[in-house]
Amino acid sequence: MQTSKSSLSALTLAAIGVVYGDIGTSVLYAIKEVFGSGYVPFTQDNIYGILSIFFWTLTVIVSLKYVVLVLRADNNGEGGLVAMLALASQAVLDKPRLRKTLLAVGIFGTSLFYGDGVITPAISVLSAVEGLEVVSTQFTEYVIPATLLVLFCLFFVQKRGTGGIGKFFGPITLVWLLSIGLLGLSHIAEHPEILWALSPHHALRFIFANPGTSFVVLGSVVLCVTGAEALYADLGHFGKTPIRIAWFTVVMPALTLNYFGQGALLLAHPEAVKNPFYMMAPDWALLPLVILATMATVIASQALITGAFSATKQVIQLGYLPRLNVQHTSVRDTGQIYLPFVNWGLFAAIVLAVVLFRSSSNLAAAYGIAVTLNMLITTVLTFFVLYYGWRYPLVLCLGATSFFFLVDLAFFTSNLLKLFQGGWFPLMIGGGVFTLMMTWKEGRRLLNEKLRSDAIDLSDFLESVFVNPPTRVEGTAVFLSAESGTVPNALLHNLKHNKVLHGTNVFVTVNNHEVPWIGLDGRLQVESLGHDCWQVVIHYGFKNDPDVPRALQLLRGRGCDLEPMTTSYFLSRDTVIPTIGSGMAPWREKLFAQMHHNAGAAADFLNLPNNAVVELGSKIEI
């Protein structure tokens, strides 16, 4: 029993560091952007109204929607938009048109995650470093360089993994949350009447008295819930209970105290609006607070970068991106991975965001659209999971999701007002990633159709070969093929040029499925083709780590034992030639051909031994 409690405490502490880093640093800029916009005059009623809106936004969106409702929609213990998409698509398998639409919507939501992944580190780290301006105006010119230096160091160390420093994330974030809670409490003690803003009637009174202003400021209010998606995305790492305990016992109280403390400060000193968070601190604590805030924002950024790596890997296995170079940074934790292309692509986009927008206030204008649209998509997918997947009554499903849909829609439409102020930036990134994903998926479909139309049946081919068999050489050949039951091009090239056939031949197809995990008992599907030839289909979920040599070790005892030293792996490296009228616009055909040409990391992705891969090519027109 003691071990269980200890484990729960450790998981809760870890969840505080990983899950709540983003939302925990929103206090740096959320209140500042609402009152600094100039739309809300400094009156006691308005401050009470805005604080009440903040508190009830946290309650409705985070506590009720994500913690209570969405965390229930786990996919075999896994969460996140990809897991939700898999659940929703499986629920409507008998409705192909609806399924295709849901897949497109879900993939677009996943694409928006990369837009959010650019803005979050930029605004978080920049808002923390801007505290130097409060320490002294002489530091103003160093804010941008210092921000870029911190971000570069963060991305540079990714290739080394986070195992060594990850154990400090929870304690540091806990210290951060306790510090901001105490900071807020000290100002609440001077103006305890500010706690009356907890009553929802203050929010309702502000909205009814200022409907137009309320709609506009929702675009800034939403900053207090950025990072809420992480609660669901990290479900598989920590489980529901630690995430819920961390939220209700530590994170939400600390955020509420700090927001209300900033409100109390503004009641007494309206001039503090230029940076209410840092101006809450006494002079002696200002520099340590800047350092602690920078550490907290780095941790928040790290969690998002790690999430981008995981999401990319999952999307690759669902077939929406080519196989990229995936490096494992831990020998114990398979979830710790590093994708160089994603890492430096994100860094380049973040540098562009910092240099382009130059302040956290300007970045705040770009923040919100991608977040709220993602929230809206999550709500929509939740409905389909509840109704079609879990077969709950329609009235109950609508009741559980329609309220949150309206709330998300209100926040999203408000953020559309910021479209030309910077909201286009994350949408442009998300749209670009979505185009790449859908082009790759459609291109692979067209390519597979072309391969199937030209394919030779494997059983018939082997039967004809063994009528007059070629010379057999010792060892085992593993031929990887996209389609099971068809002759791989690599085999044809091997027979044509080398005029030999290995003693044992294994024809392997890797199938990825829309479930997070497939256990070892369901990993292999094996069929004997005679003459020491075998057809093997390897099954993976989108959270499994593809490892073909390890999976093939499961053949032991089935009549086909592979010895690593005498096994050669053959991959067909095909050149795609785009043609007119294949089903995609010409520019997308050329884009797919270029992506296919650059997707040469299958050996790394499938964990094949590099020195045993023989690449044989052919040209394919689509």
State the CATH number of the domain containing residue 437: 1.20.1740.10
Q: Which residue has the tokens 């996943």?
A: 110
Look at residues 442, 471, 488 and tell me which one is the last residue of a structural domain: 442
All residues at 6 or more sequence positions from 333 whose CB lies less than 8 Å from its CB, including other chains: 163
If asked whether residues 334 and 233 sit together in one domain, one would say yes
Which residues, in sequence order, are bridge partners of residue 571? Answer: 615
For residue 491, name the pLDDT band (cuts at 50, 70, 90): confident
In a domain, 514, yes or no: yes
If asked whether residues 468 and 352 sit together in one domain, one would say no
Q: Can you tell me the distance from the alpha carbon of 499 to that of 487, in angstroms, rounded to the nearest whole number?
A: 16
For 53-63, letters b (16+ CB in 10 Å) and e give bbbbbbbebbb
Q: What is the pLDDT of residue 601?
A: 56
**pLDDT, tens digit (0-9, with 9 covering 90-100), for 344-354:** 999 999 999 99
Task: Quote the distance between the C-alpha of residue 248 and its chain's center.
Answer: 24
Vertex 405 angle, CA 403 and 410, to 5°: 100
In a domain, 404, yes or no: yes
In a domain, 10, yes or no: no
If asked whether residues 109 and 192 sit together in one domain, one would say yes
Q: Can you tell me the distance from the alpha carbon of 490 to that of 497, in angstroms, rounded to the nearest whole number?
A: 10
The length of the chain in residues reads 622
In a domain, 62, yes or no: yes
Does the pLDDT at position 4 exceed 60?
A: no
In a domain, 447, yes or no: no
More confident residue, 314 or 294: 294
In a domain, 593, yes or no: yes
Q: What is the pLDDT of residue 575?
A: 66
Whole-number percent of the chain with pLDDT over 70 = 92
For residue 186, name the pLDDT band (cuts at 50, 70, 90): very high
Number of domains in the chain: 2
Q: Which range, of 225-234, 322-331, 503-512, 529-538, averages the lowest pLDDT?
A: 322-331
Whole-number percent of the chain with pLDDT over 90 = 42
Q: What is the pLDDT of residue 1?
A: 40
Average pLDDT estimate for 275-290: 92
Average pLDDT estimate for 461-471: 90
Q: What is the pLDDT of residue 163?
A: 60
Q: What is the pLDDT of residue 278?
A: 93
Q: What is the pLDDT of residue 618?
A: 55
Look at residues 442, 463, 496 and tell me which one is the last residue of a structural domain: 442
For residue 612, name the pLDDT band (cuts at 50, 70, 90): low
Domain extent for 498: 455-621
Q: What is the pLDDT of residue 282?
A: 92
In a domain, 401, yes or no: yes
If asked whether residues 464 and 315 sit together in one domain, one would say no
If asked whether residues 57 and 160 sit together in one domain, one would say yes
Look at residues 383, 407, 442 and tell me which one is the last residue of a structural domain: 442
If asked whether residues 165 and 89 sit together in one domain, one would say yes
Average pLDDT estimate for 394-404: 91
**SS3 string of 441-495?**
HHHHHHHHHHHHHHCCEHHHHHHHHCCCCCEEEEEEEEEECCCCCECCHHHHHHH
Q: What is the pLDDT of residue 432?
A: 94
Average pLDDT estimate for 82-97: 88
Vertex 315 angle, CA 311 and 317, to 5°: 120
* The two three-digit tokens of residue 146, written as one number: 């210092």
Does the pLDDT at position 123 exceed 80?
A: yes
Q: Which range, of 69-73, 200-204, 481-485, 565-569, averages the lowest pLDDT?
A: 565-569
For residue 2, name the pLDDT band (cuts at 50, 70, 90): very low
If asked whether residues 408 and 526 sit together in one domain, one would say no
Does the pLDDT at position 302 exceed 80?
A: yes
All residues at 6 or more sequence positions from 420 whose CB lies less than 8 Å from its CB, including other chains: none
Q: What is the pLDDT of residue 620?
A: 57
More confident residue, 514 or 611: 514
In a domain, 448, yes or no: no
Nearest one of 88, 118, 92, 128 to 105, comparing CA atoms: 88
If asked whether residues 492 and 585 sit together in one domain, one would say yes
CB 305 within 8 A of CB 152: no
Global pTM reads 0.85
If asked whether residues 511 and 428 sit together in one domain, one would say no
Average pLDDT estimate for 388-412: 92
If asked whether residues 360 and 503 sit together in one domain, one would say no
For residue 517, name the pLDDT band (cuts at 50, 70, 90): confident
DSSP states along 592-621: HHHHHHH---HHHHTT--GGGEEEEEEEEE
If asked whether residues 377 and 477 sit together in one domain, one would say no
Read off the DSSP letter of residue 621.
E
| Residue-averaged pLDDT of the chain | 86
If asked whether residues 215 and 173 sit together in one domain, one would say yes
CB 578 within 8 A of CB 593: yes
